[in-house]
Amino acid sequence: LKEHGVKNIIFFAGTRESYDSELRLNAVRDCLRENHCEEYLKEVYYTNWENAEAENYINKLRMSGEELPDAFICANDGLAMATCVALFNNGYDVPRDVLVTGFDYIEDSKIFDPSIASVDQCFTEMGEATVRLWRKLLDGAERGISDVIPCKFVPGDSCGCHDFRDSDRLRRQRGREAFSHRSETTYFNRKLDIIDSTILSCLTYLELKDNLNRLLTNDHVFEGDSFHVLLEPNFGLSIYDSNIKMQTDRYSKNVEVLYSTEDGRVFKEEVFPSHDLVPGRDPSG
């Protein structure tokens, strides 16, 4: 509103039943209300999360001869990218003719041309906060504690903020990574096929553990020298006793070690305390 003087907004929503979409729409409305310009939101168009709906809307807008809004605000990055494609196909330029923003800050939107101005939900920070809360619970903290991680807006080329991030450098980097990614994917799929055939050839749980351990011991080039395969103890027991149920909301006190190596040093114990799965946890407090 302040940076670009936007006064005419169309919001591409998901579905009316989508909690995420409505939450994002309400955030836009709240922002406009706080700035005393609620009338700037000219239309809310529900796409049902279909990119084609955004494209159809742009096509019809072009055919009608109506003027473009100042900005399309989209409920996710997929809709934002589809909006940009449709605008380009109809002879418009983003951001010169109209601004476009998305939500989710996905990888594709970072290297898209133009890079999509988006909202980062800060999943890395959420993961770090989750581990901190988990450690507190393990150390006896009362349940019910919470930690709210705010989202943050990341400007991009699609809103005219070309200098905020080096999108061209990121695109070149992704281009270099494309080959290695394809190679890794091919090797990974081949390794999965080998694991599948190894598992399917086993008649007992003990045979499964032994064969997979042997497979990973002899060939872990893809996995590297630091990886761990742990099993919930009830998994093996439930194979032979249907009354034994798998843990679904927590780890058992100890988990079974199928294979574990750290910096090339093999962990040879058969079980591992689940509390020690938390990085940096000090059992002594």
Q: Which pLDDT belongs to residue 283?
A: 58
The pLDDT of 231-246, averaged and rounded, is 85
Q: Is the pLDDT of residue 285 over 70?
A: no
pLDDT of residue 27: 95
Q: With a cut of 70, say whether residue 101 has pLDDT above it.
A: yes
pLDDT band at 282 (very low <50, low <70, confident <90, very high): low
Q: Which amino acid is at 92?
A: Y
Find the mean pLDDT for residues 55-75.
Answer: 96
pLDDT digit string, tens, across residues 154-201: 999 999 887 777 788 888 888 878 888 888 888 889 999 999 999 999
What pLDDT, on a 0 to 100 scale, did the predictor assign at position 2? 79
Under 8 Å between Cβ of 116 and 83: no
User: What 3-state class would DSSP assign to 235?
Assistant: helix
First to last CA, the chain: 50
Q: Are strands 9-13 and 71-74 parallel, antiparallel or unpaired?
A: parallel
Q: Over the range 40-62, which residues count as b (16 or more CB within 10 Å of their CB) and which as e?
A: bbeebebbebebebbbebbeebb
**In Å, how far are 134, 135, 190, 247, 249 from 143, measured between CA atoms?**
10, 12, 44, 20, 15
Residue 277: what pLDDT?
Answer: 80
Note the pLDDT of residue 4: 84
Residue from 105, 130, 126, 128 nearest 115 by CA: 105
CA–CA distance, 154 with 13 (Å, rounded to integer):
20
Res 9 pLDDT > 70: yes
Amino acid 49: pLDDT: 97
Extended strands (E) in 151-201: 152-154
Encoded tokens for 63: 């055919």
pLDDT of residue 105 exceeding 90, the answer is yes
Percentage of residues of the chain with pLDDT beyond 70: 98
Structure tokens at 187: 């090797």
Burial of 154 (0-12, 13-18, 19+ CB in 10 A): buried
Residue 280's pLDDT band, with cuts at 50, 70 and 90, is low
Closest CA to 40 of 5, 68, 7: 7
Q: What is the pTM of this model?
A: 0.64
Q: Which among 93, 51, 89 has a CA at the least distance from the CA of 68? A: 93
9-165: CATH topology:
Rossmann fold (3.40.50)
Residues in CB range of 76: below 8 A, 6 or more apart: 14, 49, 102, 103, 104
CA angle centred on 67, ends 65 and 73, rounded to 5°? 125
| Domain residue ranges in the chain | 9-165, 202-274
Residue matched to tokens 């943050």: 152
Per-residue model confidence (pLDDT) at position 97: 96
The SS3 assignment for 61 reads helix
DSSP assigned state of 163: T
Query: Measured between alpha carbons, how far is residue 226 from residues 134, 183, 262 in Å?
Result: 23, 21, 4
